């Protein structure tokens, strides 16, 4: 609803241009004997320094009253909305032989000067510093909203490259939400893989999860479920998971219940962090449950063989994790 109201306001401003141009009165001519009063500095329009060229024939005003001079042809080429609504003739006066633009109309927009500066800088190829222009995800979301509102695919394409930078991928769940919102499959796949290192049960992720559509949320949760299920299947194929377990040398039956406890510890860790990277760490291998596994020996007469080789067991677990699906 807000976007529709904003667009109607802009369109009405554009439609008012032609009628306003024709209403210039002869009474506006200053008599030679009359000295015009100088306007105060406060009443002068404040143009953005990067958008103050007088030969630009269109003036936009931000919500905080900063003015931007933009060539109308540039805006028409970059924006489907302005292209479809800007059908007015050149802003000139009949009594001006040079056709100079002396009464440019101002089109009022609802965006802030900071947002318009970034939006128009991209459109006019003036260059943008992503660090200052996109300090937060809110800055990115606001710009994408404006690009969608004014039908500016070039701005949207530019933002696709911005959100996959290291600064934003540090919060992959937010990148995933934006990618799903705007239909960017490659970015959604990349960010979904990085979300595997997050514990989504933490309260700080709740607002972003709530913003996802059902299908996109299910895709993310299904990836986690598939990884845990497939790892469980892989661990069940380990010799130690057979019942009863027999020593590989003397074939005596060995109690390997520590392995079963270790397996469930692995699966619990996959619930918390489905990337599995914490399972590969030395700290995980040194947990009390893991130490019990590698201390299991055969009780057969004159055997006493260690039932688990630590290095090969951990290596097989790592390979099983590496073989799991990694993205939606």
Q: What is the pLDDT of residues 14-65, one digit of tens each?
A: 555 444 444 433 433 333 333 444 444 455 668 898 888 888 888 999 999 8
Arithmetic mean of pLDDT, 101-113: 77
Lowest mean pLDDT among 7-16, 97-106, 171-180, 212-221: 97-106
Tell me what percent of the residues of the chain surpass a pLDDT of 70.
Answer: 81
Ramachandran sector of residue 151 (left: φ over 0; alpha: ψ -120 to 50; beta: rest): left
Give the model's pLDDT for residue 35.
41
Which pTM value belongs to this model?
Answer: 0.76
- Quick one: tokens of 279? 């399972």
Mean pLDDT, range 297-301, rounded to an integer: 80
Angle, helices 185-194 vs 172-181, to 10°: value is 160
Band the pLDDT of 174: cuts 50, 70, 90: very high
Question: Is the separation of the CB atoms in 242 and 220 below 8 Å?
Answer: no
How many whole angstroms separate alpha carbon 86 and alpha carbon 89? 9
Cβ pair 169, 193 in contact under 8 A: no
pLDDT at 102 over 80: no
Q: Which structural domains are found in the chain, ordered by start?
A: 1-12+45-92+100-162 (3.30.710.10), 215-322 (no CATH)
Residue 24's pLDDT is 38
Percentage of the chain exceeding pLDDT 90: 56
Provide the pLDDT confidence category of residue 105 given band limits of 50, 70 and 90. confident
d(CA 181, CA 208): 12
């Amino acid at each position: 609803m807000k976007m529709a109201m904003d667009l109607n306001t802009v369109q009405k401003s554009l439609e008012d241009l032609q009628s306003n141009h024709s209403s210039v009165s002869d009474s506006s001519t200053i008599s030679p004997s009359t000295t015009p009063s100088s306007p105060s500095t406060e009443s002068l329009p404040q143009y953005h320094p990067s958008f103050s060229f007088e030969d630009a024939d269109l003036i936009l005003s931000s919500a905080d009253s900063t003015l931007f001079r933009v060539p109308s042809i540039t805006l028409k080429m970059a924006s489907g909305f302005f292209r479809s609504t800007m059908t007015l003739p050149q802003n000139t006066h009949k009594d001006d032989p040079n056709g100079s633009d002396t009464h440019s109309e101002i089109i009022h927009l609802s965006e802030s000067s900071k947002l318009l500066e970034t939006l128009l800088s991209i459109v006019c190829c003036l260059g943008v510093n992503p660090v200052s222009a996109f300090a937060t995800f809110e800055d990115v979301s606001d710009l994408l909203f404006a690009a969608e509102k004014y039908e500016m695919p070039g701005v949207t394409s530019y933002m696709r490259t911005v959100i996959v930078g290291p600064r934003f991928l540090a919060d992959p769940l937010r990148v995933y939400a934006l990618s799903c919102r705007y239909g960017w499959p490659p970015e959604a796949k990349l960010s979904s893989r990085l979300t595997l290192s997050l514990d989504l049960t933490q309260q700080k992720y709740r607002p972003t999860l709530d913003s996802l559509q059902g299908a996109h949320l299910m895709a993310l949760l299904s990836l986690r479920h598939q990884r845990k299920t497939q790892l469980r299947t892989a661990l069940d194929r380990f010799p130690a998971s057979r019942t009863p377990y027999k020593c590989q040398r003397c074939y005596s039956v060995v109690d390997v219940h520590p392995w079963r406890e270790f397996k469930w510890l692995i699966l619990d860790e996959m619930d918390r962090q489905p990337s599995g990277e914490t399972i590969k760490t030395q700290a995980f291998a040194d947990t009390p449950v893991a130490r019990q596994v590698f201390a299991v020996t055969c009780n057969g007469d004159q055997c006493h063989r260690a039932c688990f080789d630590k290095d090969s067991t951990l290596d097989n677990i790592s390979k099983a994790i590496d073989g799991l699906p990694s993205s939606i």
